[in-house]
Amino acid sequence: MSSVKPKKTILSHGGDWDFELLKRYDAEIGIIAKEYGLDTYPNQIEVIASEQMLDAYASVGLPISYSHWSYGKEFIQNEEAYRRGQRGLAYELVINSDPCIAYLMEDNSMPMQALVIAHACYGHNSFFKGNYLFKQWTSADAIVDYMVFARKYIFDCEQRYGDARVEETIDACHALMDHGVDRFHRPSPLSAEDELHRQHEREEHAYKQYDDIWRTLPQKAVDKSGAQKKKRTFPPEPQENLLYFIEKYSPSLEPWQREIVRIVRKLAQYFYPQGLTKVMNEGWATFWHYTLLNTLYDRGMVDDGFMFEILQSHTNVVMQPSFDHPAYSGINPYALGFAMMRDIRRICEEPDEEDRAWFPDIVDKDWSEVLDFAMRNYKDESFIGQYLSPKLIREFHLFAIADKHSEDHLRVEAIHNEAGYREVRRLLSKQYNRDVLIPDIQILRYEHMGDRSLVLRYNQLRERPLTDDATEVLKHLSRLWGFTVTMEIFEEGRGVVDKVEVSPG
pLDDT of residue 329: 87
Name which of 42-46, 295-299, 464-468, 484-488 the model is least confident about: 464-468
Which of 483, 479, 503 lies closest to 170 in space, CA to CA? Answer: 479
**Over 50: is that where the pLDDT of 32 sits?**
yes
Between 224 and 168, the more confident residue is: 168
Mean pLDDT throughout 97-104? 91
**Over 60: is that where the pLDDT of 222 sits?**
no
Other Cβ atoms less than 10 A from the Cβ of 3: the count is 4
pLDDT of residue 449: 87
pTM summary value: 0.84
**Over 90: is that where the pLDDT of 35 sits?**
yes
Whole-number Å distance between alpha carbons of 146 and 39: 25
Taking every pair of C-alpha atoms in the chain, what is the biggest distance, in angstroms?
Answer: 92
pLDDT of residue 62: 64
Name which of 224-233, 403-412, 488-497 the model is least confident about: 224-233
Between 31 and 493, the more confident residue is: 31
Confidence label for 219 from pLDDT (cuts 50, 70 and 90)? low
Q: Is 366 left (phi over 0), alpha (psi -120 to 50) or beta?
A: beta
Cα dist. 221→218, 225, 227, 229 in Å?
A: 9, 11, 15, 16
Output phi, psi for 376, to 5 deg.
-80, -30
What are the residues facing 491 on neighbouring strands? 495
pLDDT of residue 424: 94
Between 89 and 281, the more confident residue is: 281
Which of 288, 338, 313, 296 lies closest to 108 in space, CA to CA? Answer: 313
CA of residue 6 relative to chain centroid, distance: 41
pLDDT of residue 356: 96
Percent of the chain with pLDDT over 70: 81
Whole-number Å distance between alpha carbons of 415 and 424: 8
Which of 484, 500, 479, 486 lies closest to 452 in space, CA to CA? Answer: 484
Other Cβ atoms less than 10 A from the Cβ of 252: the count is 13
Mean pLDDT throughout 191-215? 53
pLDDT of 396-408, one tens digit each? 999 988 877 777 8
Pairing assessment for the beta strands 454-459 and 485-491 based on DSSP bridges = parallel
What are the residues facing 48 on neighbouring strands? 105
pLDDT of 36-50, one tens digit each? 999 999 999 999 887
Mean pLDDT throughout 174-200? 72
Pairing assessment for the beta strands 441-446 and 454-459 based on DSSP bridges = antiparallel
**Over 50: is that where the pLDDT of 73 sits?**
no
Name which of 60-64, 154-158, 176-180 the model is least confident about: 60-64
Confidence label for 125 from pLDDT (cuts 50, 70 and 90)? very high
- Strand (E) or helix (H) holding 445: strand 441-446
Between 288 and 78, the more confident residue is: 288
Name which of 82-86, 201-205, 281-285 the model is least confident about: 82-86
pLDDT of residue 211: 44
Output phi, psi for 5, to 5 deg.
-125, 145
pLDDT of residue 231: 56
Whole-number Å distance between alpha carbons of 250 and 258: 9
Whole-number Å distance between alpha carbons of 402 and 380: 23
Mean pLDDT throughout 382-406? 91
Mean pLDDT throughout 299-323? 94
Mean pLDDT throughout 474-498? 91
Top mean-pLDDT range of 56-70, 214-228, 251-265: 251-265
Whole-number Å distance between alpha carbons of 232 and 34: 58
Percent of the chain with pLDDT over 90: 59
Which of 122, 124, 131 lies closest to 37 in space, CA to CA? Answer: 122
Mean pLDDT score of the chain: 85
Cα dist. 461→411, 431, 448, 466 in Å?
A: 21, 13, 30, 10
Mean pLDDT throughout 351-365? 96
**Over 50: is that where the pLDDT of 250 sits?**
yes
Confidence label for 295 from pLDDT (cuts 50, 70 and 90)? very high
Mean pLDDT throughout 323-339? 92
Query: Rounded to 10 degrees, what is the CA torsion of 110, 113, 115, 117?
Result: -140
Which of 501, 480, 471, 505 lies closest to 173 in space, CA to CA? Answer: 480
Name which of 51-60, 70-79, 272-281, 414-423 the model is least confident about: 70-79
Beta strands in 359-423 (DSSP E): 400-402, 411-414
